[in-house]
């Protein structure tokens, strides 16, 4: 069974999770976490300090030993808010590569939110209804409204606990003026968020990451003490068990925040659930939760230990196990994202659909010829649907525009690497042929170049089969022989001469890539 490792390089801490696939599900083998404060200097100076880099590298080297010990088949390393902002992010990624051999993938805030959502809804049954997910990390806060396991709306806000501490709370305890400025900043960001999220009527709020855990543990401890004094231990216990795990309601979070703001660091560290490392950054995070819950009318939240690394593992499982339940979910999510891009850039689905149908037929019929991995079927379908989005900018040179739009769009379900592959498939549909030294091809891992080139040939054939959009869709029959491929065109209304001519123009490129002759007949 394959083993996966997911590493999350956050602004406050680095996390590792290793899991093995068993019966189409993931079983956790090992977890590790280290507070490195990578973003602390970034939010002050715009660069990662050498000390933070060194601390993170030490943690990653320890993670590397664990990954080797468990013989992980695939490792994915992502970095979030601090790396998005740092001017010297490239220097750090090179250091990571030299120390571990890993390539660090800096993901956007929305991709971060998507993966967190995927990790939570994959494992939390209660989160598959209408709910809100809140992940407040060191550098950013992702808020997601979900319904039926699907993302309905999402925002990524610069409200991370470390960022706010560095920007606003410079004294201990925080000065009243600084707290007032921070409140104004949080309110301004939440006002922007409300325009995107509206008034989310949700039955459950799930909060992830360390700040949520600290607040929930502290509120739970206060609740127990109150219950003990009022001799209602049984009632308190039933309430916690009913909600499921660590919880906190808005009144409890507000009361706790008001206490924390007035405390010194050593006093906050003594609060149950917070501790010495979290006490330094808890005030800003607690204020965000207070204002966010009040702004959106949320009564309470439930803490979940799931997070970004769980979504990364679920994504890796989906990519290799077509029978896993998460595979169907991600495929549906991807297709919804593709259709949204088409809608945004004015692509008529009925015009793009024939190209998609033909590329799938060719992929299936020529499996022995191209030898592409199964996931390339989806990449080809996506590229077929979006191949003309560049015309929204300019018809001239639209393939270049298409590549740029796909590579730089937030398409849920696609990692940046996958978007790069899809964008390359759509880029080389004109006169230009792919070359390993092209800027586009350099964004794709070298081991994928041969697959991308083969897939490009299939999509070029599918495009060639759809030259006359006014006629009915051609039917095709594919015959594969040891040294040649025969493509028979069964014409609809208006014949198939133009399509046959277009396909024959691709025969030389087909022979170059697949070492077989391509013959075309109209029957």
Residue 523 pLDDT class (50, 70, 90 cuts): confident
Query: Given this model, what pLDDT does residue 229 score?
Result: 72
The closest alpha carbon to 257, from 192, 181, 173, belongs to: 173
pLDDT(472) > 60? yes
Q: Which residues are CB-contacts of 140 (< 8 A; sequence separation ≥ 6)? A: 11, 80, 81, 109, 112, 156, 157, 158, 159, 160, 163
Q: What mean pLDDT is predicted for residues 100-120?
A: 92
Tokens of 334: 């991807």
pLDDT(345) > 80? yes
Query: Given this model, what pLDDT does residue 238 score?
Result: 43
Tokens 């549909």 correspond to: 429
Percentage of the chain exceeding pLDDT 70? 96
Query: Given this model, what pLDDT does residue 330 score?
Result: 84
Tokens of 520: 């075309």
Q: Which residues are CB-contacts of 501 (< 8 A; sequence separation ≥ 6)? A: none
Percentage of the chain exceeding pLDDT 90? 76
Instruction: Determine the 3-state secondary structure of 219 from DSSP.
Output: helix
With 0-12 / 13-18 / 19 or more C-beta atoms within 10 angstroms meaning exposed / middle / buried, residue 196 is exposed
Query: Given this model, what pLDDT does residue 237 score?
Result: 47
- pLDDT tens per residue across span 231-275: 555 544 444 433 347 899 999 999 999 999 999 999 999 999 998
Query: Given this model, what pLDDT does residue 469 score?
Result: 58
Residue 204: strand pairing partners: 131
- pLDDT tens per residue across span 143-191: 999 998 888 899 999 999 999 999 999 899 999 999 999 999 999 999 9
Query: Given this model, what pLDDT does residue 225 score?
Result: 81
Instruction: Determine the 3-state secondary structure of 135 from DSSP.
Output: strand
pLDDT(492) > 80? no
Altogether, the residues listed in the chain come to a count of 523
**Eight-class DSSP state of 444:** S
CA–CA gap between residue 521 and residue 490 (Å, rounded): 9
**Eight-class DSSP state of 496:** S
pLDDT(290) > 70? yes
Within 10 angstroms of residue 85's Cβ, the number of other Cβ atoms is 19
With 0-12 / 13-18 / 19 or more C-beta atoms within 10 angstroms meaning exposed / middle / buried, residue 15 is buried
Query: Given this model, what pLDDT does residue 322 score?
Result: 75
Half-sphere exposure of 523 (CA within 13 A, CB side): 12
- pLDDT tens per residue across span 385-437: 999 999 999 988 899 999 999 999 988 878 888 999 999 999 999 999 999 99
Computed over every residue of the chain, the mean pLDDT equals 91
pLDDT(467) > 80? yes
Tokens of 265: 């660091």
User: Which secondary structure element, helix H or strand E, spans residue 489, and what is its range?
Assistant: strand 484-490
With 0-12 / 13-18 / 19 or more C-beta atoms within 10 angstroms meaning exposed / middle / buried, residue 186 is buried
Taken in order of first residue, the domains within the chain and their CATH numbers are 3-107 (3.30.420.40), 125-305 (3.30.420.150), 322-468 (1.10.3210.10)
Within 10 angstroms of residue 355's Cβ, the number of other Cβ atoms is 25
pLDDT(10) > 50? yes
Query: Given this model, what pLDDT does residue 243 score?
Result: 39
Query: Given this model, what pLDDT does residue 327 score?
Result: 82
Angle, helices 376-386 vs 398-408, to 10°: value is 120
CA–CA gap between residue 250 and residue 255 (Å, rounded): 9
Reduced DSSP (H G I as helix, E B as strand, rest coil) percent helix, strand, coil of the chain, to 5: 55, 15, 25
């Amino acid at each position: 069974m394959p083993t996966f490792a997911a590493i999350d390089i956050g602004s406050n801490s680095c996390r590792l999770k290793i899991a093995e696939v068993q019966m189409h599900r993931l079983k956790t083998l090992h977890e590790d976490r280290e507070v490195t404060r990578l973003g602390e200097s970034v939010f002050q100076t715009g660069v990662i300090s050498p000390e933070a880099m060194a601390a993170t590298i030490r943690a990653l080297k320890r993670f590397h030993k664990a990954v080797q010990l468990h013989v992980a088949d695939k490792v994915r390393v992502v970095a979030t808010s601090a790396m998005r902002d740092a001017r010297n992010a490239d220097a750090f990624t090179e250091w990571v590569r030299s120390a571990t051999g890993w390539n660090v993938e800096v993901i956007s805030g929305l991709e971060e939110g998507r993966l967190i959502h995927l990790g939570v809804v994959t494992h939390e049954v209660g989160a598959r209804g209408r709910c809100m997910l809140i992940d407040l990390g060191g550098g950013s806060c992702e808020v997601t409204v979900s319904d039926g396991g699907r993302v309905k709306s999402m925002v990524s806000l610069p409200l991370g606990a470390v960022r706010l501490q560095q920007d606003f709370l410079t004294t201990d305890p925080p000065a009243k003026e600084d707290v007032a400025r921070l409140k104004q900043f949080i309110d301004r960001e939440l006002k922007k968020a409300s325009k995107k999220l509206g008034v989310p009527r949700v039955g459950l709020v799930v909060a992830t990451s360390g700040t949520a855990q600290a607040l929930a543990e502290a509120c739970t401890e206060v609740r127990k003490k109150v219950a003990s004094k009022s001799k209602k231990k049984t009632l308190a216990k039933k309430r916690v068990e009913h909600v499921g795990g660590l919880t906190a309601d808005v009144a409890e979070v507000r009361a706790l925040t008001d206490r924390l703001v007035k405390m010194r660091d050593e006093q906050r560290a003594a609060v149950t659930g917070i501790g010495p490392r979290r006490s330094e950054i808890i005030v800003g995070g607690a204020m965000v939760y207070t204002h966010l819950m009040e702004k959106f009318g949320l009564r309470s939240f439930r803490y979940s230990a799931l997070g970004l690394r769980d979504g990364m593992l679920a994504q890796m499982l989906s990519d290799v196990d077509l029978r896993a339940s998460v595979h169907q979910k991600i495929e549906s999510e991807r297709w919804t994202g593709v259709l949204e891009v088409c809608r945004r850039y004015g692509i008529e689905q009925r015009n793009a659909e024939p190209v998609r149908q033909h590329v799938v037929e060719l992929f299936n019929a020529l499996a022995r010829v191209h030898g592409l991995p199964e996931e390339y079927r989806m990449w080809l379908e996506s590229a077929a649907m979006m191949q003309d989005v560049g015309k929204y900018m300019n018809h001239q040179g639209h393939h270049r525009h298409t590549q740029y739009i796909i590579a730089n769009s937030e398409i849920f379900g696609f990692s940046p690497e996958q978007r790069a592959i899809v964008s390359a498939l759509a880029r080389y549909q004109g006169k230009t042929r792919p070359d390993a030294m092209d800027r586009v091809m350099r964004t794709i891992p070298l081991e994928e170049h041969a697959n991308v080139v083969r897939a490009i040939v299939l999509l070029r054939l599918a495009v060639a089969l759809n030259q006359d959009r006014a006629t009915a869709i051609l039917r095709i029959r594919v015959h594969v022989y040891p040294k040649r491929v025969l493509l028979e065109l069964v014409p609809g209304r208006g014949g198939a001469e133009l399509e046959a001519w277009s396909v024959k123009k691709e025969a030389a490129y087909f022979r170059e890539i697949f070492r077989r002759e391509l013959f075309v007949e109209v029957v």
